[in-house]
Amino acid sequence: MATSHLIDDFYQGVVPALLPFLVLERQYSYAAVAGLTLAANLLSSVAQPAFGWWGDRTPRRWLIPAGMVTAAIGVSLVAFTPEYWMTWLVIALSGIGISAFHPEAARAARIAAGNSNRAMSVFAVGGNLGFATGSLVATPLLLFTGLGGTPYLLIPAAVMAVVIVLRLQRVLDGPRDAPKPVQHPPGPDNWPGFLRLTAVVVVRSIVFFGSVSFIALYFIHDFRTSQALGGAALTVFLTFGAVGTLFGGWLADRVGRLVSIRIGFAVSIPSLLGLVLAPTWPIALVFVAVFGIAIFVPFAVFVILGQDYLPNRIGIASGVTVGLAVTVGGLFSPLLGWIADQTNLRVSFFILIGLTVLSLGLAFLLREPASGPRHPRPLGDTTAEAADEGAL
């Protein structure tokens, strides 16, 4: 499931890589490419809870390979869209495919992971790596082929879809002779707790998107580094973020989910402050790495905690924590950019520090869901062996 998550979010990372080529080859304006970003992200985030609600009525595993392939088809069709409106539609199609994948994939990953936060973090980090890999693969390909090479991007999804169709049922059902765990009826949904969790996820998302937007620029403008070094700083942030996602799952299994969330935010505050106050770029880069780990520690825990708050609506919980609440945070980046234009980047970073403090405060309002089933409503049975296999 982690590999399928990597492939699906790979196409989310491809979209930003397409934008410079659309500007150069088709003379799109900056406003036009911003519209494409909106098509990919906003529609995807709104659609994810809808797909989650649909899946809660009757689990629809076929959305996992179908969503992934739809995401791939959308970006691959860019080669055949001479008009802007056509490009907008196929990018939106890709975003809808990504949104169709996430709720059912998160449901299946939870079944494969069982009670293991560590295993769920493996699923989550697949998405982190996929987003980062998208631009790393697409940019050299398009430099060689131009936009006419986008159909080649269909290959990873096609291969992975076949693997999913052949193996997903076996992963979720586990070995035939394995003992089946006792299934308990799901407890009541805890909407107040889920809404508090959503607030934490949204504020954390603003901090994340603001950091992604400004870290490279901060190194370039405030430390007078090269563009390459600024980009390297962003790569360090995202790479150590993947480490933080895995570490967060491990930590949650040992100290508890709520404690791990609070630790992540508590460490994020001084590390982000250290980045802003660092006298030289090497010191700042160390703080970027620490901040990358810390801000990603709660990431996988959010998904599994949301599912426990809404045990009868696993799809909606996954769609909100993975999709809507995360992407909504990105809508605040233009406001932070405007503030930076009116003042400077440091002011925007101090706002991000304040928001991280707010995240920590909100995290102390969270409570563990009431005792009940530790597994979501059945897609299949789960075993320890299935959890190990499903994490891969």
Q: pLDDT tens-digit profile of 88-132?
A: 999 999 988 988 887 787 777 777 766 666 777 777 778 778 877
Mean pLDDT of 217-234: 85
Token digits of residue 203 = 């504020």
- The pLDDT of residue 377 is 41
Mean pLDDT in residue range 170-197:
68
Answer whether 2-183 and 191-363 agree in fold: yes
**Secondary structure element (H or E) that encloses residue 297, with its range:** none
Domain spans in the chain, listed from the N-terminal domain onward: 2-183, 191-363
The CATH number of the structural domain formed by 191-363 is: 1.20.1250.20
How many angstroms separate the CA atoms of 10 and 162, rounded?
17
Q: What is the DSSP letter of 337?
A: H
Q: Which residues 6+ apart lie within 8 Å of 20 measured at CB?
A: none
State how far Cα 242 lies from the chain centre.
11
Give whole-number Cα distances, 383 to 170, 209, 220, 257, 389, in Å: 11, 37, 50, 22, 10
Which helix H or strand E contains 376, and what residues bound it?
A: none
d(CA 148, CA 35): 21
Compute the distance between CA of residue 91 and CA of residue 37 in angstroms, rounded to an integer: 8
- Residues 353-388 pLDDT 10s: 999 999 999 999 999 987 443 444 444 444 433 444
pLDDT at 383: 41
**Rounded CA separation 338/378 (Å):** 47
Widest distance between CA atoms in the chain? 66
What CATH architecture is 2-183?
Up-down Bundle (1.20)
More confident site: 192 or 183: 192
Please give the helix or strand (H or E) that residue 235 lies within, else none. helix 227-255
Of 309 and 166, which is predicted with more confidence?
309
Pick the more confident residue, 183 or 348.
348
Reading the block at residue 186, the tokens are 């799901």
Determine contact, residues 329/277, Cβ cutoff 8 Å. no
Query: Mapping DSSP to helix (H, G, I), strand (E, B) and coil, where does residue 175 land?
Result: coil
Query: What are the CA-CA distances from residue 334 to residues 88, 152, 167, 203, 212 (Å)?
Result: 21, 33, 42, 15, 12
User: From CA 296, how far away is CA 21, in angstroms rounded?
Assistant: 31
pLDDT for residue 38 is more than 80: no
Query: For the chain, what is the mean pLDDT?
Result: 82
Q: How far apart are CA 213 and CA 159, in angstroms?
A: 33
pLDDT, residue 35, reads 79
- Per-range mean pLDDT, top range of 9-13, 128-132, 146-150, 235-239: 146-150
* Confidence class for position 291, pLDDT limits 50, 70, 90: very high
Average pLDDT on 20-32 reads 82
Q: What angle do CA 101, 103, 107 make, to 5 degrees?
A: 115
Residue of 158, 181, 178, 182 whose CA lies nearest to 170: 178
Percent of the chain with pLDDT over 70: 85
* pLDDT in the model for residue 178: 47
Q: pLDDT at residue 30 above 80? A: no
Per-residue tokens: 36: 């494409």
Q: Identity (one letter) of the amino acid at 348?
A: S
Alpha-carbon distances, residue 140 vs 56, 75, 150 (angstroms): 40, 16, 12
21-25, 176-180, 235-239, 308-312: least confidently modelled range:
176-180
- Nearest Cα to Cα of residue 105 among 226, 254, 4: 4
Distance CA 160, CA 1 (A): 10
Q: Where are the alpha helices (DSSP H) in the chain?
A: 2-26, 30-57, 63-76, 84-113, 117-145, 154-173, 191-222, 227-255, 257-277, 281-296, 299-309, 314-319, 325-330, 333-342, 345-363, 384-391
Please compute the mean of the pLDDT values over residues 239-258 and round it to a whole number: 90
